[in-house]
Amino acid sequence: MKVLITGAAGQLGRALIDTAPAGMTVQAVDRSDCDFSDGDAIRAMVQDAAPDLIINAAAYTAVDQAESDEQTARAINSDAVAALVGAHGGRLVHISTDFVFDGNSPRPYRPDDTRNPLSAYGRSKAAGEDHLRDSDLLVRTSWVYTAGRANFVRTMLRLMAEKDEVRVVADQIGAPTWAPGLAKAIWGLVAADAAGAFHHSDAGVASWYDFAVAIQEEARAMGLLDRSVPIIPIATADYPTPARRPAFSLLDCSVTRDLLGDGHTHWRTNLWHMLRAEKYRG
């Protein structure tokens, strides 16, 4: 099967390339290869590639910047999806986010729950979902990270090495997701011919504060940090940002896990794998 992967230089794009199953012929493209705000360029790229399957991991992810640049966010997160769908007769796998929900649910969000994004970024991602056909596959995820890329884990490692204390929001609840595990779940859903909406994150639940505490503990045990610093839990109101974030965005991944018979690995276990990879990178 010939697969076109967009967003190849991103965390998930790289993981999808690295975990591609045998028998997949992968062509990977990124913004250096195609302007994803240009519909004509997208259509030409798809025509040239002539893939059997497209996995769209390209996205505008600057959540706060999108508040003042919603037009660009919508062009990449929504209009580009419409262009991919219009140019490709086969199945499209599209990656979306927990930020399409408003955080008011009393339980983890199911794939068919009502969306109500709070931010420009969330609105642009929800609009992108609306372009998908019944035969396409939508995978929502949350708090993605991997070794060697810009993300919360590596930011925390830097701050813990530089600062005398770190202040982290404790009232936003969700689940971290290790990109290689997400990539394997996506390939599994592809192999199962899944269509419609699915959720995947690592098992368990955490606040950003919980995540930061675990990062320091695991990094200290692994020798990535020479010391421990106080981690101070704060409220969202104490760390104002341009974009509103959902206070509770835990995803119900039970349908995905039941279908694949996998995906039950706790987020802290995958954090350990990521930090080990980070250590080996030097």
The pLDDT score that the predictor gives to residue 89 is 87
Indicate the pairing of strand 206-207 with strand 173-174: antiparallel
Give the pLDDT confidence of 145-196 residue by residue, as tens digits.
999 989 999 999 999 999 999 999 999 999 999 999 999 999 999 999 999 9
Structure tokens at 75: 């062009």
Can you state the angle between helices 152-162 and 267-281, rounded to 10 degrees? 60
Which residue do the tokens 């939508």 mark?
A: 138
* Residue 225: pLDDT over 90: yes
The pLDDT score that the predictor gives to residue 281 is 80
Lowest model confidence (mean pLDDT) among 51-55, 95-99, 206-210, 276-280: 276-280
Q: How confident is the model at residue 38 (pLDDT cuts 50, 70, 90)?
A: very high
Structure tokens at 99: 């930020």
* Residue 245: pLDDT over 80: yes
Q: Where are the alpha helices (DSSP H) in the chain?
A: 11-18, 39-49, 70-74, 80-87, 120-129, 152-162, 179-191, 208-222, 254-260, 267-281
- pTM metric for this prediction: 0.95
Compute the C-alpha angle 219/223/228, nearest 5°.
60
Residue at 62: amino acid letter: A
Cβ–Cβ < 8 Å for 181, 120:
no
Structural domains for the chain: 2-281 (3.40.50.720)
Helix (H, G, I), strand (E, B) or coil at 157: helix
Query: Out of 121, 145, 239, 280, which one is annotated catalytic?
Result: 121
- Mean pLDDT of the chain, nearest integer: 96
Q: Is 239 a catalytic residue?
A: no
- Mean pLDDT, range 196-207, rounded to an integer: 98
* Residue 263: pLDDT over 90: no
Helix (H, G, I), strand (E, B) or coil at 271: helix
The pLDDT score that the predictor gives to residue 282 is 65
* Residue 230: pLDDT over 90: yes
* Residue 280: pLDDT over 90: no
